[in-house]
Structure 1
Amino acid sequence: MSELINNRQERIEVMKNLIRQLHEGRDEEKVRRQLESVLQEADYSDVFLMEIQLMEEGISRESITKLCDVHTKVLKKHLDLTETPDAVPGHPLHTFLQENQALLQRTAHIRKKIAELEKVSEEESADVLMKIRFLLNELMDVDKHYRRKENLLFPFFEKNNLHGPSTVMWTKHDETRSYLKSVIQALNEAENISQKEMIAFARLAIEPAIESVEEMIYKEEKILFPTAMDLLTEQDWYDIYLQSPEIGFCLYYPEFEWVPEGGLVENVEKIKASDDKIHLPTGSFTLEQLINIFKTLPVDLTFVDAEDTVRYFSPGKDRIFDRSRTILGRKVQYCHPPKSVNIVNQIIKDFKEGKQDVARFWINFGGRFIYISYYAIRNDQGTYLGTLEVTQDLTDLRALEGERRLLQYDEE
């Protein structure tokens, strides 16, 4: 066993020396060839240990972060052989992987739309750009994917003294989020942009942003997740599973309940039992009653908390505007078309500053008269807690005349 450990450390020492050469600006192709020969006996966990030791030996986190893409590129031929771990539906890893697939579908669609920009007419290019904006807004959902890694997965690495790689990866998360936010903001502020300018912006700004998302997915599936499956216990994954809904999910919502092997079914049942009664100042409900009350209300509700994050929507079967559970945990600004984001921001700003308590709109939608109200939610001390959106179809109510005083059931 000691011989194996020594051989592994010798391998890592050679890798560290080669990475230092990259850091010093040595020829990347020459270093790549040397690394490939070393990696015949290496595995994904060696990359983690190498980064940790380099940071312990004085190479700064910033420098490791800058080198991260370079040495991943150099190691790619070997990492390609690493199989992405598998997990049963409902397992947190399975959810991460499904989210990655959804993200890759969006990045592929964006690339397709960028290619279309060079083929369509000047008039048609504006419509293509609008679709790109919509897809980029969806891509911002990656923030929830990253936050679950940062707040739920990385702590288990740190408990095992693997601080370095998670710190480096967190920095890369921030870079990706910054890329996407900057691109979206620039597109929202752009006016009268020509087709030629659209194409240039897409190549210089949009493509690097989506490449950042794709590269992180590669690092997750070839390095992070295989290491996590070796490192975490079933109980660790169960802790992540229980806490994940609070942060939210990214473009995918797990439909399956997951209970790990080892007799933890009782824990799930206890949690359900403890939530059976919801006690309010004027009464109480069972959870089942409360869910179905909201489902039965003749209005659609959506609640956005004080941090502009969507936390709830009512699940009525005849909703006016579609909602999916992937919006939970998402910033409300990314749930609206770019042209209306300024109105959303103004409403929330006025609510937070106490200038207004309600904003009302009415529109014709699909031949129906739709009434939309936004209400500032405050506690007894006046502290802003969030915004409640209430949407109602008033078409039939506006047509009422006279009176009805006798019992008469409406036909469905």
Structure 2
Amino acid sequence: MANAQFNPKLVNILKDILLRLHDGKPQETVKEDFDKHLNQVSAVEILLIVQELKNGGHGITSDDVVKLFSIYKQLYGLAINEWHVPDSNHEGHPVQILIAENKEFQSILDQMNGQIELLEKSSQWVQEEEVIEKLKEDVSQLGQLNRHYNRKEKLIFPILERYGQITPTRIMWEGDDRIRILYKNVKRKIENIQAIEIASVKQSYQIFQSKMTDMMFDEESILLPIVLNIFNEDDWLAIAREGDTFGYCFIDPQKEWERSVSVEDECNKEIDNATTKHIKIGGGYLTVQEANSILNNLPVEITFIDKNGIFKYFNERVASSDMMFVRTPISIGRNVANCHPPKSLKKVMRLVQDLKSKKRSSESMWFKKKDQYIHITYKGVFDEDGEYLGILEYVQDIRPFFELPREAKR
């Protein structure tokens, strides 16, 4: 599917219509222009353009988009942001999980709004200790937004990119990162609320609440209609299977959604036959099964990005949810530039270029994660003729090395 958001004519027409709606122009005149210029444009193309315009600093709001959706329904008799896909109403389907989590988020945001208003009216903190404790509890609960956004970024976005839609994922990921920053600021202020002016707390909270509410609108009214129209059942199954890797917010899906009839058995038979064949590798011979088992038993997490920047391989020494750096099969085939948040893209691409050009042979770094000391190395890989093959990343917990006995064990 073409990237409709890069069609300047459609973008300008829709931008003009949305700005007129924003300025309160009569909907009848707007409706005429919409039907004249956009009646042959698919709903998905319109949604893609709307997402870009809404996040492009033009002053277009969710309310303006709702007005546009209303005009679309008046003209064509169906809602532009509603798609009906078999099983998508199943409570274990990724769509239903995302919507259920958003309802819980909205409920907590509403509660916090009332709590902050109550504190604003009170002049005696001592009398409001119960409200303060509940506010701190609620803001802590909102920290689960990272699970929600991670599932979206690491499971939905890679598949959307396979269908040629890269810009929408970058726009939404940038929005997620802004919300993460705003959340940390709000949480810090609420945890120290008795030492901070309530007006400052309220201002920070309202900015955060507005952005998060807006993101929920974008997810349900723009992102979901797009992917429900584009994704097939295999795509949704892949997302459902990997959901546990990142965890869920507030809910634990009791009914797992899966395909009623499996079509994987024949594929698995072909794979099983291939794994028994010996191939020359290194200084000897291994079957694919043996090579795979060896790689999965190494005490490091390995990732390989090929010469074209495509995420091609990772070993599976532990379940994805237990990895130091979470990797899932859904990300295989994704461009390395899209595997990282927009804010770190420049650093990532500079490292890739340096390793490819041999400006750097490798790059290592480490950080502490709970009781682990995570050590990461990135290394350029070249063949015997010096041709660039890609980048190897290996990650390990080096804490056990700190605990080695002084005397050598022979």
Q: TM-score range by the shorter chain?
A: 0.5 to 0.7
Q: Specify the SS of the correspondent of 1:141.
A: helix
Q: CA distance change for structure 1 residues 233 and 306 in 2, over 3 Å: closer, same or farther?
A: closer
Q: Which runs of structure 2 are paired with 1:219-230 in the superposition (5 Å)?
A: 219-230=218-229
Matched, 1:381 2:382: no
Cα deviation digits, residues 53-87 of structure 1 (max 9, x gap): x7xxxxxxxx8734387254322223365447652
Q: Specify the SS of the correspondent of 1:142.
A: helix
Instruction: Give the match for residue 130 of structure 2.
Output: 127
Instruction: Give the match for residue 67 of structure 1.
Output: 57
Q: CA distance change for structure 1 residues 352 and 129 in 2, over 3 Å: closer, same or farther?
A: same
CA distance in structure 2 between the partners assigned to 1:188 and 1:166 by the alignment:
33
CA distance in structure 2 between the partners assigned to 1:84 and 1:230 by the alignment:
7
User: Quick one: which of 105, 108, 126 aligns to 2:107?
Assistant: 105
CA distance in structure 2 between the partners assigned to 1:206 and 1:181 by the alignment:
11
Instruction: Give the match for residue 156 of structure 2.
Output: 153
Deviation at 1:27, TM superposition (A): 9.5
Matched, 1:78 2:76: no
Q: Specify the SS of the correspondent of 1:67.
A: coil
Instruction: Give the match for residue 256 of structure 2.
Output: 257
Instruction: Check conservation: 2:147, 2:249, Cα contact below 8 A.
Output: yes
Q: CA distance change for structure 1 residues 220 and 29 in 2, over 3 Å: closer, same or farther?
A: same
Name structure 1 gaps, 5 residues minimum.
55-62, 271-279, 281-303, 310-347, 355-376, 384-412
Instruction: Check conservation: 1:93, 1:225, Cα contact below 8 A.
Output: yes
Instruction: Give the match for residue 171 of structure 2.
Output: 168
Instruction: Check conservation: 1:99, 1:250, Cα contact below 8 A.
Output: yes
Cα deviation digits, residues 335-386 of structure 1 (max 9, x gap): xxxxxxxxxxxxx8895689xxxxxxxxxxxxxxxxxxxxxx9764348xxx
Moved more, 232-241 or 36-45: 36-45
Instruction: Give the match for residue 324 of structure 1.
Output: none
Cα deviation digits, residues 130-158 of structure 1 (max 9, x gap): 32222111112111111111111011111
**Counterpart of 2:68 in structure 1: which amino acid?**
H
Cα deviation digits, residues 112-143 of structure 1 (max 9, x gap): 21232244451233432332222111112111
User: Quick one: which of 29, 33, 46 aligns to 2:23?
Assistant: 29
Matched, 1:178 2:168: no
Deviation at 1:201, TM superposition (A): 2.6
Q: Which runs of structure 2 are paired with 1:12-411 in the superposition (5 Å)?
A: 13-19=9-15, 28-29=22-23, 37-39=32-34, 41=39, 44-50=43-49, 65-67=55-57, 70-79=60-69, 81=79, 82-83=81-82, 86-120=88-122, 122=124, 123-193=126-196, 197-198=197-198, 200-264=199-263, 380-382=400-402
> Normalized against structure 2, the TM-score is what?
0.54
Q: CA distance change for structure 1 residues 12 and 121 in 2, over 3 Å: closer, same or farther?
A: same
Name structure 2 gaps, 5 residues minimum.
71-78, 270-296, 298-320, 327-367, 375-396, 404-410
CA distance in structure 2 between the partners assigned to 1:28 and 1:164 by the alignment:
24
Instruction: Check conservation: 2:147, 2:248, Cα contact below 8 A.
Output: yes
Instruction: Give the match for residue 388 of structure 1.
Output: none
CA distance in structure 1 between the partners assigned to 2:179 and 2:33 by the alignment:
31
Instruction: Check conservation: 2:18, 2:65, Cα contact below 8 A.
Output: no
Instruction: Check conservation: 2:136, 2:190, Cα contact below 8 A.
Output: yes
CA distance in structure 1 between the partners assigned to 2:206 and 2:25 by the alignment:
28
Q: CA distance change for structure 1 residues 32 and 240 in 2, over 3 Å: closer, same or farther?
A: farther
Instruction: Check conservation: 1:22, 1:31, Cα contact below 8 A.
Output: no
CA distance in structure 1 between the partners assigned to 2:148 and 2:168 by the alignment:
17
CA distance in structure 2 between the partners assigned to 1:266 and 1:109 by the alignment:
49
> Normalized against structure 1, the TM-score is what?
0.54
Instruction: Give the match for residue 360 of structure 2.
Output: none
Instruction: Check conservation: 1:156, 1:236, Cα contact below 8 A.
Output: yes
Q: CA distance change for structure 1 residues 126 and 160 in 2, over 3 Å: closer, same or farther?
A: same
Deviation at 1:233, TM superposition (A): 0.7
CA distance in structure 1 between the partners assigned to 2:26 and 2:148 by the alignment:
31
Moved more, 230-239 or 132-141: 132-141
The number of residue pairs the alignment matches comes to: 269
Instruction: Check conservation: 1:48, 1:165, Cα contact below 8 A.
Output: no
Instruction: Check conservation: 2:372, 2:399, Cα contact below 8 A.
Output: no
Instruction: Check conservation: 2:155, 2:239, Cα contact below 8 A.
Output: yes
Q: Specify the SS of the correspondent of 2:256.
A: coil
Q: Specify the SS of the correspondent of 1:154.
A: helix
**Counterpart of 1:170 in structure 2: which amino acid?**
W
